[in-house]
Amino acid sequence: MSQELLINVGIGEVRIARTEDGRLAELTIERAANGSLVGNIYLGRVVRVVANIGAAFVDIGVGCDAFLGAREAQCLHPRADPEGYDREPPINELVSEGEAVLVQVTADAVADKGAALTGAITLPGQLLVHAPTHSGVVVSRRLADEAERDRLKALVEAARQETDAHAGRFIVRTAAAGAGAGAISADIERLRAAWRDLVAARAQARPPACLFSEQDPLIRALRDLRTTDRIRVDSGPAFIRARDYCQRHRPDLAPRLEHFRGPGALFDHGDIDIDADLALALEREVRLPSGGAITIDEAEALTAIDVDSGALTDAASPRETALRVNLEAAGAIARQLRVRDIGGLIVVDFLDIEAPDRARLASALQEAFAPDAARPRAGPIPARGVVEITRARVRPSLWMQVTEPCPGCGASGRRPTIETLVGDLLRRAERAANSGRAGGVLRVRAAPVLVRALETAGEAVELLARRIGRPVEIEAMASFERTHFEFEVG
């Protein structure tokens, strides 16, 4: 299977796509106005403890109070190591209102729910992850070779013994495969130094304060990348940053890194059309090769997926029809969960199948879920075919990120956010300018609400003009819908 990482740096946003065999597998969108907080470490202030739900609400300085559950609060104090507990203590034994707490964001806010927090701090390195409030050495389950697992564990244990064997836990990442003792020791020392700096910063800070912020999305994508055949970046400055990072920290990736200079846009170059795949990922219905379909309905509490046989008529029997459609649906569902980044509880209504065929469907689901780093888990497949799937939720799904409740339909549907439309407008404007004749002005006509957003964005238009090498004029058109805009080069 061929794999590729595509990094598109636009005006005010970065889009990072992972492709497998030329098809979109995962997409991350980071916008300057509302970037992800996952991984950030804060000195927060407990504003409310709610014993009956076993949680505390913490002000971390981002507007909406974040959520800290009792289980995640156990590592806040040395006395509260979860490995030393015979029972899970209630939240009011762990924190009190007004207390300053060191916490890390594990999941971004979704809708009106604040970010999720933990007291179990982790610091990511190149080869290892440091968990100062735990102990021991853990090796990633994705490192399958037992001999390599044992070798790496021994190297990390030896490096820990050289300094302080009790100073936290180290988790061996898949990127450590093949690493030597020197690289392991250097990563341990960097991580311990980062923890010492964090402790020193905490002593000087007043809550709420951000003490550690995750790296920018480009560097984070390279750091966390397990394997790929090719990496393409369409921005000169971003390519230089990526090249320098790979040379210092990921030399295995350096030969695969390319600066994409066109022709055309990176996300619709050659056989890959990411924008088309993105549009499909926002559709409610996904067609299957047999003529069947899956229908995806996202809600805040769960996602419901219905499997329909559709127009399939060439199967030999109803049993064969149901099995064929279900097997196709299993692959499509696994892909859509990744592309749309759907997390939490997913309920799938498969077609009813007989007992001997349920094992085949369970195996197909397991195989389809294997490449997904979010580790989906499927429950047993009952006679009626309704299956519960859980998948880690770290940030709002793609649908939640790029759409908003539609006031015109009483919030029963959704529409693209202004930020999504502005990003789309800027990308299309750049494409129109680069495909037009040299010289002249790029004239952009858009709905007044988009023009106001461009003006509010400050230097967005100025950056666009610099990128395309020509002046840009923006005209508000009262008759235009918010999704309609036009370009003229001349």
Per residue in 291-344, pLDDT (tens digit) is 889 999 988 778 999 999 876 666 568 888 889 999 999 999 999 999 999 999
Is the CATH number of domain 123-203 1.10.565.10?
Answer: no
Tokens of 392: 């880690």
Distance between CA 46 and CA 94 in Å, rounded? 11
pLDDT of residue 151: 93
Helix ranges restricted to H, 344-417: 355-369, 398-402
Length of the chain: 490
- The mean per-residue pLDDT over the stretch 435-443 comes to 81
Alpha carbons within 13 angstroms on the beta-carbon side of residue 65 total: 13
User: Under a CB-based contact definition with an 8 Å cutoff, are residues 336 and 342 in contact?
Assistant: yes
pLDDT of residue 164: 65
Sign for the pseudo-dihedral over CA of 144, 147, 151, 153: positive
Provide CB contacts within 8 A for 305, sequence distance 6+: 294, 295, 296, 297, 333, 346, 347, 348, 349
Q: Is the confidence at residue 410, as pLDDT, over 80?
A: no
Distance between CA 347 and CA 55 in Å, rounded? 27
Q: Provide the strand spans (E) within 351-469.
A: 377-378, 386-391, 403-405, 414-416, 442-446
pTM: 0.78
Q: Is the confidence at residue 156, as pLDDT, over 60?
A: yes
Nearest to 332 by CA among 387, 295, 373, 297: 295
**CA 32, chain centre distance (Å):** 15
Q: Where are the domains of the chain?
A: 3-35+215-275, 41-121, 123-203, 283-391, 417-489
| pLDDT-wise least confident of 48-52, 236-240, 409-413, 448-452 | 409-413
Is the CATH number of domain 41-121 3.40.50.920?
Answer: no
In CATH terms, the fold of domain 3-35+215-275 is Nucleotidyltransferase; domain 5 (3.30.420)
pLDDT of residue 444: 94
What one-letter code names the amino acid at 75?
C
Q: Is the confidence at residue 44, as pLDDT, over 80?
A: yes
Task: Indicate the average pLDDT of the chain.
Answer: 87
Strand partners, 279: none
pLDDT of residue 252: 86
Q: Is the confidence at residue 80, as pLDDT, over 50?
A: no
Using DSSP, state whether 203 is helix, strand or coil: helix
pLDDT tens, 358-389? 999 999 999 999 989 888 999 888 888 899 99
pLDDT tens, 452-477? 998 887 788 889 998 888 999 999 99
If you classify domain 417-489 with CATH, what class do you get? alpha beta
Distance between CA 122 and CA 75 in Å, rounded? 11
pLDDT of residue 240: 95
pLDDT tens, 171-193? 998 888 888 888 899 899 989 99
pLDDT of residue 165: 53
Q: Give the burial class of 239: count Cβ atoms within 10 A of its Cβ; 0-12 exposed, 13-18 middle, 19 or more buried.
A: buried
Q: Quickly state the pLDDT bin for 409 (edges 50, 70, 90).
A: low
Tokens of 212: 């550690």
The strand pair at 293-298 and 302-308 is best described as antiparallel
Nearest to 8 by CA among 347, 238, 280: 238
| pLDDT-wise least confident of 151-155, 316-320, 374-378, 395-399 | 316-320
Alpha carbons within 13 angstroms on the beta-carbon side of residue 171 total: 16
Distance between CA 20 and CA 36 in Å, rounded? 25
- The mean per-residue pLDDT over the stretch 107-121 comes to 88
pLDDT of residue 55: 94
